[in-house]
Structure 1
Amino acid sequence: MTLTKFHGIIPAFYACYDDQGNISESRTHALCDYLFEKGVQGVYVGGSSGECIYQSLDERKAVLSYVASNLKGKMTLIAHVGAPSTRDSIELAKHAATLGYDALSAIPPIYFKLPDSAVYKYWSEIMEATPLSFIIYNIPQTTGYTLTPSLFEKLLANKKVIGVKNSSMPTMDIERFKRVGGKDVVVFNGPDEQYVAGRIMGADAGIGGTYAVMPELFLQANEFVKAGKFEEAGQIQSDINDIIIALCSLKGAMYAGIKEILKLRGVNIGSVRAPLEAVAAEDAGPIADIMKLIDQAIERYCG
């Protein structure tokens, strides 16, 4: 497998519900079609943006199946299989392998504070369950666990480890992981607010939760970075950050706002699952304003 298939812009796939809040196959396919038409390089399925911690094991397996049936062979597919127990994570991993996913990924175990030895064993046992490549997921602000360069280096002894999705905020972490892994490892920038900075510091690609609501902007940011147009890259990042700040200022959850914008685009994937809060009536005006910001930025940089 060539690592270049993991380069580029890879949106984190959103949970797609029907009007009763159940996983919707038809709406999942609609989001697949939308992202394929936008030209992104792949999708990251079942992570934070997919509301995985609020879904049952069967629901998560269904989402993996729906996405694979639509996009397998069309773009790179990464299955996030992190779950509260090693047993559930392995079951998800084996399911993804039967569906033809290109790689697996997982956050570290959550809730209990575990030593490095337990986290190492957790990731290693998932890796040994299938022949698929594996991408470590470091997101300390939500899991409470921080991946160290030394543990990452130890994990790289397993040849199935091909990369790390780094969602910690310091861009230095990206530089450190790239220094440890070198050219044989893909480092993914996680925080959308620092996509350009992360790429400059060594990230090879990006996986992000806001990519799918404005894929044109991240695709263009990627082109600016590849072309060495860093002034333009900084400008588009600044506009992206204005949009993200506005999304995070809604009364409802950020993902609820994102889904409302997609609905206005003709892609209805429902709302969010509790305890995430749906958009409120007073969010309607700000959501229209955010959509306008996105459209103006697309016209400015991509038109």
Structure 2
Amino acid sequence: MNRAFDQIPTPPAAELQMLREKADRYDRFTRNLPALLYDYVIDEAGTGHCLYCSAYSQELLGIAPEELMADMNRFWNLIHPDDVEFFREQDLKASQGADTFFIDTRVILPSGKEKWIRVSSTKNSMANDEPAIWSGYMIDISQTKQLEMMLHEQATHDFLTGLGNRNYFKLHFQSELQRKDRFRADGVVLLLDLDHFKLINDRYGHDAGDYVLKQVANIIRAQLRNIDIVARWGGEEFCILLPDTTPGQALLVAERIRSSLARRPLHYLNQQIRVTISIGLTTLRLDDKHIEGAIRRADQALYRAKHRGRNRISCS
């Protein structure tokens, strides 16, 4: 028998019982907590090792804890392809001097199900220059992300037509101004207004008016590219941003929209509703630093189109 082992003092029975109770309590806690708890260390070669992983990994990630502790690549392989590069960048920054790590990311489970998870950890200082152990948790935030996306959609999109709203358009407009200045690219703004829309509401009712707005939105969308930005500007007005587009090209787009509406009526509850649209067109200028100038010019051109008889296009 190993005499050195014999010389190790045996803790009193009461102390052993207390340690067992603490271990049992911790085990119950980790098994019932809706979070994956883990300890993680990065060795001198830069390789990550999972030292501890709670049982919730099976529920959260679809992988048993012992599998994650045996091979950390099991976790890395779950990260969404669009998120993995950013995750690795943040992980590297944290390992090179940060004391905390925090990220929201998407994972694709072995079942194919996609989740949003939050990963958060803190570095524990170690003695004798040993590698630091990072202790942290992972939780499912899919419902939170869905709510965030729903609120963002409501804040930036028009409920009736499904188009972007004024806030959405302004955000993309500022991005386009920056890109235009950087690449000296052409760009055009169209401001569109349905002719005599109040008469449609008065004659056919507001439900018919809503139907017309939705159909017009679909017709406009059908004439645009994926890179074009369209929004319901307000009421019966729509606004379009055409990046990388010359005035001549924009005029063709505007004419396609105008003629698509003018040449055939919309059908609503066995009724034909004739709809026409007036369009104001302006090019983006080098001195355009905000949206107001371009919208003002497009609005002036739209006013001229209305004044000259409607159902036409006018350029600023």
TM-score of the pair, normalised by structure 2:
0.18
Between Structure 1 and Structure 2, which shows a larger proportion of strand residues?
2
Between Structure 1 and Structure 2, which shows a larger proportion of helix residues?
1
Give the number of the structure with larger relative contact order, counting CA–CA contacts within 8 Å between residues 6 or more apart.
1
TM-score of the pair, normalised by structure 1:
0.19
Rg larger in structure = 2
